[in-house]
């Protein structure tokens, strides 16, 4: 029976979609199309990452091969960008948002924020003049992209790489001229990352070009590039400290401005702070509620007074934190986690998306470890969504003392790592990115890639964490049943772990790509052939571009491959005994003790904070000549 309301809905469904774009929407589309191309042409490094390889300069008609270039960081280039964004802001102002269709209106908001932020970055933030590390990060990305992204054949990418290495001395000379002031923290990060760039040129790049027609050219460019890196490092270490010093903090007013345009939220920092404070009390109460029974079980002799929250929660957290990987096996654990999560997504039919074969879990390149202290997702180019998506996991540096390594591992314990993988990888940002990559036309996809709405993108990441928790991962139950069968209803034991990602298209990006998050679409689960596909993917995962040696991270050696301990996956297993808790009444596998994932010895990394930088943030660098990492 069709109620009037249902009838209306059906009619709307039938009528609404094919609406032709209004003249205003069409005008906006032209403007946005021009914008994404121009913005990327200002930033060839980001262009490669987004899958834009050539650009026809409207002024000269000349075709620019973006993959062979580094960003122009000269004052003249800065002036050109400033003029362009000011003009664009004026043109946007003349459009009438009220006349735009809803999709286009969302893009209008993104573009307006993006332009505003670009102007802020150019005139007020001025990172190229105050942050020596931005050049190291840009160079690392510039050189890593042709190696890791398979957008063309190896010979072409080797040529691109060689051309970019040739550009290093000029680029860094300009960088030193640009820097007016700095601070000690940024200088230290810059020096660490510069070492990573040198390593990339010396090892990974050399390996990559070997046997190609660009090998000799690359060889000739190497020494001058390395010398330039040394000179720049000496400048950062010795000269910059004698120039004016500035606070790394931006101050309240600039923070509020940046907040508005980066987060694109309507609440002010003060309002958000008040909400967070209010919420903190609720969250702490919830922590006590959850920790109480475990505390009673694990520490039956303890008696705490009235104010028991801190001791109870911290003791329980400390106990959970004991369960972690060895210092050299974080990457292997992440690979296991992703494989297990994929099994859950498929086995429980959580999403219509069931192919994550484009995803590779690799060590974070050294030059980005100053930013990606723990892990992060790096997405396939917006214009080439079929290319690899990476889940970067930052290994612990070998030079870290045991105590420091242990502190990081306690925090990034088994369960935290699993949460991280749910957020960053599967279903996580990969799912949102995959759907965002289906957006058409292309300008929309690119716009949402690098001017995307962060809270929107992160919302899907966080939602994924909740989704997987509700699905029984990480402490919940995968399903009711006999304890030893309950661990994975997703796949037979011993099979589920051997799938190491290689990858699916995915972008982390904002705007409007419409992930179907928790939609449950029957029939979507992948069925047969998993074992075969799994081993192929395992091989692919191990074929990490520049992986083991070049990037200096923990070896990607087949952690997954055929080790006996793999049954003991980080998934829950109701009913498993708790250590020291005979007759435990709470069988949650979250707290099931488990040995280290890998065979550990002394492992290695530098870590700065608990940051999970995301693609959209990196991507912003396209419009913004001045990436800002420290806010994370
Ligand atoms: Zn206690
Ligand atoms: Zn995220």
Ligand 2 centroid to Cα of residue 605, in Å, is 21
Ligand 2 centroid to Cα of residue 295, in Å, is 31
Q: What is d(CA 477, CA 472) in angstroms, rounded to the nearest whole number?
A: 4
Ligand 2 centroid to Cα of residue 309, in Å, is 29
Ligand 1 centroid to Cα of residue 272, in Å, is 34
Ligand 2 centroid to Cα of residue 140, in Å, is 22
Q: What is d(CA 322, CA 594) in angstroms, rounded to the nearest whole number?
A: 9
pLDDT at 479 > cutoff 80: no
Burial level of 527, CB count in 10 A (0-12/13-18/19+)? exposed
Tell me, what's the pLDDT at 386? Answer: 87
pLDDT at 518 > cutoff 90: no
Among residues of the chain, what percentage have pLDDT more than 90?
A: 53
Ligand 1 centroid to Cα of residue 299, in Å, is 6
Whole-Å CA distances, 296 to 279, 290, 305: 26, 11, 14
The backbone region for 503, taken as left when phi is positive above 0, alpha when psi lies in -120 to 50, beta otherwise, is left
pLDDT at 235 > cutoff 90: yes
> What is 373-440 written as a DSSP string?
SSEEEEPPPTT-TTS-EEEEEPPPPTTS-HHHHHHHHHHT-HHHHHHHHHHHTTTHHHHHHHHHTT-S
Ligand 1 centroid to Cα of residue 418, in Å, is 26
Ligand 2 centroid to Cα of residue 470, in Å, is 19
Q: Would you state the structure tokens that stand for residue 386, as one six-digit string?
A: 């079929």
Residues 6+ apart with CB under 8 A from 222: 165, 201, 202, 205, 206
Least-confidence region, from 94-98, 150-154, 593-597: 593-597
Q: Closest ligand to 297 CA? A: 1
Closest listed residue to residue 194, CA positions, set 474, 606, 566 = 606
Residues lining ion ligand 1 (Cβ < 5 A) are 299, 302, 315
Paired with 378 in beta bridges are 390
Ligand 1 centroid to Cα of residue 29, in Å, is 61
Residues 6+ apart with CB under 8 A from 127: 121, 134, 624, 625, 626, 627, 628
Q: Would you state the structure tokens that stand for residue 568, as one six-digit string?
A: 């003991």
Ligand 1 centroid to Cα of residue 578, in Å, is 17
pLDDT interval class at 5 (50, 70, 90): very low
Ligand 1 centroid to Cα of residue 279, in Å, is 25
Mean residue pLDDT of the chain comes to 75
Across the range 65-84, mean pLDDT stands at 96
Q: Closest ligand to 458 CA? A: 2
DSSP state of 292: H
Paired with 393 in beta bridges are 363, 375
Across the range 121-136, mean pLDDT stands at 94
Q: What is d(CA 229, CA 206) in angstroms, rounded to the nearest whole number?
A: 16
Helix (H, G, I), strand (E, B) or coil at 575: coil
pLDDT interval class at 380 (50, 70, 90): confident
Tell me, what's the pLDDT at 472? Answer: 83
Tell me, what's the pLDDT at 19? Answer: 57
pLDDT at 50 > cutoff 90: no
Closest listed residue to residue 453, CA positions, set 211, 268, 261, 242 = 261
Ligand 2 centroid to Cα of residue 303, in Å, is 39
Cis check for the bond before 441: say yes or no (omega within 30 of 0).
Answer: yes
Q: 125, 276 in Cβ contact below 8 A?
A: no
Ligand 2 centroid to Cα of residue 137, in Å, is 20
Q: Closest ligand to 461 CA? A: 2
Q: What is d(CA 129, CA 150) in angstroms, rounded to the nearest whole number?
A: 33
Across the range 537-557, mean pLDDT stands at 28
pLDDT interval class at 340 (50, 70, 90): very high
Tell me, what's the pLDDT at 21? Answer: 67
pLDDT at 24 > cutoff 50: yes
Across the range 438-451, mean pLDDT stands at 87
User: What are residue 528's phi and psi, to 5 degrees?
Assistant: -75, 175
Tell me, what's the pLDDT at 41? Answer: 92
Ligand 2 centroid to Cα of residue 9, in Å, is 35
Q: 606, 369 in Cβ contact below 8 A?
A: yes
Tell me, what's the pLDDT at 276? Answer: 95
Q: Closest ligand to 462 CA? A: 2
Across the range 544-563, mean pLDDT stands at 27
> What is 85-103 written as a DSSP string?
HHHHHHHHHHS-GGGS-HH
Q: What is d(CA 213, CA 192) in angstroms, rounded to the nearest whole number?
A: 32
Helices (H), 121-153: 127-130, 133-148
Tell me, what's the pLDDT at 6? Answer: 42
Q: Would you state the structure tokens that stand for residue 134, as one six-digit string?
A: 């931005």
Tell me, what's the pLDDT at 515? Answer: 31
Residues 6+ apart with CB under 8 A from 457: 429, 432, 508, 509, 510, 614, 615, 616
Tell me, what's the pLDDT at 454? Answer: 84
pLDDT at 405 > cutoff 90: yes
Closest listed residue to residue 175, CA positions, set 223, 228, 118 = 228
Among residues of the chain, what percentage have pLDDT more than 70?
A: 72
Whole-Å CA distances, 205 to 165, 464, 491: 9, 36, 40
Q: Closest ligand to 379 CA? A: 2
Helices (H), 235-325: 252-263, 269-298, 309-321
Name the residue with higher pLDDT: 17 or 184. 184
Paired with 389 in beta bridges are 359
Whole-Å CA distances, 14 to 2, 17, 100, 494, 589: 15, 7, 21, 48, 48
Ligand 2 centroid to Cα of residue 629, in Å, is 14
pLDDT interval class at 305 (50, 70, 90): confident
Q: Closest ligand to 422 CA? A: 2
Tell me, what's the pLDDT at 289? Answer: 95
Tell me, what's the pLDDT at 20? Answer: 63
Ligand 1 centroid to Cα of residue 287, in Å, is 14
Ligand 1 centroid to Cα of residue 302, in Å, is 5
Out of 249-253, 280-284, 469-473, give the one with best mean pLDDT.
Answer: 280-284
Ligand 2 centroid to Cα of residue 457, in Å, is 7
Q: Closest ligand to 615 CA? A: 2
Q: Closest ligand to 315 CA? A: 1
Name the residue with higher pLDDT: 631 or 102. 102
Out of 47-56, 219-228, 346-355, give the one with best mean pLDDT.
Answer: 219-228
Tell me, what's the pLDDT at 474? Answer: 65
Q: Closest ligand to 288 CA? A: 1
Q: Tens digit of pLDDT for each residue in 494-507?
A: 222 222 222 222 22
DSSP state of 220: H
pLDDT at 516 > cutoff 50: no
Ligand 2 centroid to Cα of residue 453, in Å, is 12
**Global model pTM greater than 0.85:** no
Q: Would you state the structure tokens that stand for residue 430, as one six-digit string?
A: 């990969």
Whole-Å CA distances, 266 to 116, 125, 232, 263: 15, 21, 41, 9
Q: State the greatest distance between any 2 C-alpha atoms of the chain, in Å, as a whole number.
A: 80
Q: What is d(CA 206, CA 477) in angstroms, rounded to the nearest whole number?
A: 49
Ligand 1 centroid to Cα of residue 411, in Å, is 19
> Cα 336 to chain center, whole Å?
18
Closest listed residue to residue 410, CA positions, set 287, 336, 323 = 323
Across the range 388-397, mean pLDDT stands at 92
Q: Closest ligand to 632 CA? A: 2
Tell me, what's the pLDDT at 554? Answer: 28
> Can you say whether the dihedral through the CA atoms of 176, 178, 183, 185 is positive or negative?
negative
Element (H, E) at 170: helix 168-178
Q: 367, 338 in Cβ contact below 8 A?
A: no
Across the range 504-512, mean pLDDT stands at 29
Q: Tens digit of pLDDT for each residue in 168-215?
A: 999 999 999 999 999 999 999 999 999 999 999 999 999 999 999 999
Ligand 2 centroid to Cα of residue 154, in Å, is 31
pLDDT interval class at 459 (50, 70, 90): very high
pLDDT at 2 > cutoff 60: no
Q: Would you state the structure tokens that stand for residue 474, as one six-digit string?
A: 């990480």
pLDDT at 546 > cutoff 90: no
To 10 degrees, the CA torsion angle through 381, 384, 388, 393? Answer: 10
pLDDT interval class at 425 (50, 70, 90): very high
Ligand 1 centroid to Cα of residue 297, in Å, is 10
Q: Closest ligand to 463 CA? A: 2
Ligand 1 centroid to Cα of residue 311, in Å, is 6
pLDDT at 626 > cutoff 70: no
pLDDT at 394 > cutoff 60: yes
Helix (H, G, I), strand (E, B) or coil at 450: helix
Tell me, what's the pLDDT at 383? Answer: 87
pLDDT at 478 > cutoff 90: no
Ligand 2 centroid to Cα of residue 524, in Å, is 25
């Amino acid at each position: 029976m069709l109620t009037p309301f249902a009838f209306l809905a059906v009619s709307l469904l039938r009528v609404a979609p094919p609406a032709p774009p209004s003249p205003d929407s069409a005008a906006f589309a032209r403007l946005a199309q021009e914008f994404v191309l121009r913005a990327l042409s200002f930033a060839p490094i980001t262009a490669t990452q987004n899958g834009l390889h050539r650009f026809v300069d409207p002024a000269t008609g000349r075709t620019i091969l973006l993959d062979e270039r580094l960003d122009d960081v000269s004052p003249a280039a800065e002036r050109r960008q400033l003029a362009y964004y000011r003009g664009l802001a004026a043109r946007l102002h003349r459009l009438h948002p009220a006349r735009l269709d809803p999709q286009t209106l969302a893009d209008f908001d993104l573009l307006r924020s993006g332009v505003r932020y670009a102007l802020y970055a150019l005139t007020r933030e001025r990172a190229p003049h105050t942050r020596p590390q931005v050049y190291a990060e840009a160079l690392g990305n510039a050189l890593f992209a042709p190696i890791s992204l398979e957008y063309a054949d190896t010979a072409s990418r080797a040529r691109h790489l060689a051309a970019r290495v040739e550009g290093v001395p000029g680029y860094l000379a300009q960088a030193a001229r640009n820097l007016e002031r700095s601070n000690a923290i940024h200088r230290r990060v810059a020096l660490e990352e510069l070492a990573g760039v040198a390593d990339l040129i010396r090892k990974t790049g050399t390996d990559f070009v070997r046997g190609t027609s660009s090998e000799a050219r690359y060889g000739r460019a190497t020494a001058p590039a390395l010398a330039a890196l040394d000179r720049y490092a000496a400048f950062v270490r010795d000269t910059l400290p004698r120039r004016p010093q500035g606070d790394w903090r931006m101050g309240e007013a600039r923070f509020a401005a940046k907040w508005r345009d980066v987060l694109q939220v309507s609440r002010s920092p003060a309002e958000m702070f008040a909400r967070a404070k209010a919420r903190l009390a609720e969250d702490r109460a919830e922590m006590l509620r959850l920790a109480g029974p475990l505390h009673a079980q694990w520490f039956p002799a303890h008696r705490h007074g009235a104010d028991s929250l801190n001791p109870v929660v911290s003791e329980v957290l400390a106990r959970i934190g004991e369960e972690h990987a060895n210092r050299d096996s974080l990457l292997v654990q992440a690979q296991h986690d992703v494989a297990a999560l994929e099994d859950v997504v498929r086995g429980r039919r959580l999403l219509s998306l069931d192919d994550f074969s484009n995803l590779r879990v690799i060590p974070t390149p050294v030059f980005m470890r100053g930013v990606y202290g723990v892990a992060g997702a790096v997405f396939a180019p917006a214009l080439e969504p079929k290319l690899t998506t990476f889940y970067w996991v930052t290994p612990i540096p070998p030079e870290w003392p045991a105590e420091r390594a242990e502190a990081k591992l306690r925090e990034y314990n088994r369960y935290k790592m699993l949460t991280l993988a749910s957020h960053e990888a599967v279903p996580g940002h990969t799912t949102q990115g995959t759907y965002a990559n289906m957006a058409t036309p292309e300008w929309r996809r690119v716009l949402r890639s690098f001017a995307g709405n962060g809270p929107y993108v992160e919302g899907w990441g966080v939602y994924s964490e909740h989704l997987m928790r509700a699905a029984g991962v990480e402490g919940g139950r995968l399903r009711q049943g006999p304890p030893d069968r309950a661990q994975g209803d997703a796949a037979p034991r011993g099979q589920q772990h051997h799938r190491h990602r290689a990858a699916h298209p995915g972008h982390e990006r904002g705007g409007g790509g419409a992930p179907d998050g928790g939609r449950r679409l029957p029939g979507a689960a992948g069925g047969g052939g998993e074992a075969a596909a799994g081993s192929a993917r395992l091989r692919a995962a191990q074929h990490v571009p520049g992986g083991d040696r070049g990037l200096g991270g923990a070896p990607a050696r087949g952690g997954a491959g055929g080790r006996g301990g793999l049954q003991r996956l980080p998934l829950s297993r109701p009913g498993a005994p708790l250590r020291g808790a005979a007759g435990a009444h709470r069988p949650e596998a979250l707290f099931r003790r488990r040995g280290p994932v890998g065979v550990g010895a002394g492992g290695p990394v530098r870590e700065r904070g608990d940051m999970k930088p995301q693609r959209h943030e990196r991507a912003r660098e396209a419009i913004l000549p001045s990436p800002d990492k420290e806010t994370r």
